Structure 1
Amino acid sequence: MSSKLFLFGLLCVVLAAAQEPKERAEILTEKAFVRANGYDFEFKTSDGVSRKEQANLITVGDHQGIGVSGSYSYTAPDGQQYEVNFTADDKGFRPEIRVVPQNPQ
C-alpha cells in the first residue's frame, strides 16, 4: 500500500513540475483615493485582470459599517473572460457574473 502512495505522490510532483510557469503580471494602471467616508480604487494588469471598487460608510440601525460596490474581470484557464459586478453591504455579497462574448476570428 505504501508503494502505491509513493508512486501517486511522485506522479503528482512530476505533473506539477511539468506545468508551464506563469509570467508575473505587471500593473498597467492604478488609482486609489481614500476619503473620510470611504475609498475608491481601480487597477489593470498585464494579464488582463482589472478591478474597480467604491466604498462608503453606511448606517444600519445603531451600527456603522461599509458598503462596497464594484467590478472585476479576468480570463479563466479555459480562455473565457469573466466579468463580475458586485455589491457588498448589510444585505450580503451580491455578485452578477457575466461571460464576455469572444470575437470570432
Structure 2
Amino acid sequence: MISLKLFVFALFAAVVIAEEKPVAEILSENTNVNPDGYNFDFKTSDGVSRQEEGSLITVDEKQGIAIKGSYSYLTPEGEEYQVTFTADDKGYKPTIRVLPVQQ
C-alpha cells in the first residue's frame, strides 16, 4: 500500500513540476484546391512550416496524385530538420537535412 501511495505522489509531483509548453500559433496559412490538384503552406510560431502541392497524374490507365513538398521543424536542442519530398507512382522519396543549432 505504501508503494502505491508513493507512486501516486510521484505521479502527482511530476505533473505539477512538468513544464507547460505554449500552444503554437499559426503565423501564415494559404490553401488552394482546384479540379487538377491542390497546394498549401503554413508557418507556426514554434518553428514548424510546411509547403505541399499535389497534381493529378495518369499512369497506364489509372489516375492518381503526385505530391511534392517540404516541411521543417525545430528539435528541443535547437536543430532544424528540413525534409523535402516527392510521392508518386514511383514511391515516397524524402531528402532530409539537419541544420546546425542557431546561436
User: TM over 0.5: same fold?
Assistant: yes
Checking the alignment, whether the CA contact within 8 Å between 2:56 and 2:65 is kept in structure 1 is: yes
Structure 2 residue 71 is the aligned partner of structure 1 residue 72: yes
Give, in angstroms, the shift of residue 93 of structure 1.
Answer: 1.1
Give, in angstroms, the shift of residue 18 of structure 1.
Answer: 3.2
Checking the alignment, whether the CA contact within 8 Å between 2:77 and 2:101 is kept in structure 1 is: no
Secondary structure of 2:22's match? Answer: coil
User: What does residue 21 of structure 2 align with?
Assistant: 22
Counterpart Cα distance in 2 of 1:91 and 1:9 = 51
Counterpart Cα distance in 1 of 2:5 and 2:74 = 34
Counterpart Cα distance in 1 of 2:32 and 2:21 = 31
5+ residue gaps, structure 2, are none
TM-score in terms of structure 1 length: 0.81
TM-score in terms of structure 2 length: 0.83
Q: Which amino acid aligns with 1:54?
A: E
Identity percentage over the alignment? 50
Name the Cα RMSD after superposition. Answer: 2.2
Give, in angstroms, the shift of residue 95 of structure 1.
Answer: 0.7
Residue-pair matches, total? 102
Question: Any runs of at least 4 consecutive aligned residues in structure 1 with deviations exceeding 3 A, and if so which?
Answer: 6-18
After superposing the two structures, state which structure 1 stretch, 52-61 or 16-25, moved more: 16-25
After superposing the two structures, state which structure 1 stretch, 10-19 or 33-42, moved more: 10-19
User: What does residue 96 of structure 1 align with?
Assistant: 95
Counterpart Cα distance in 2 of 1:24 and 1:17 = 18
Change (3 A) 1:7 1:86: farther
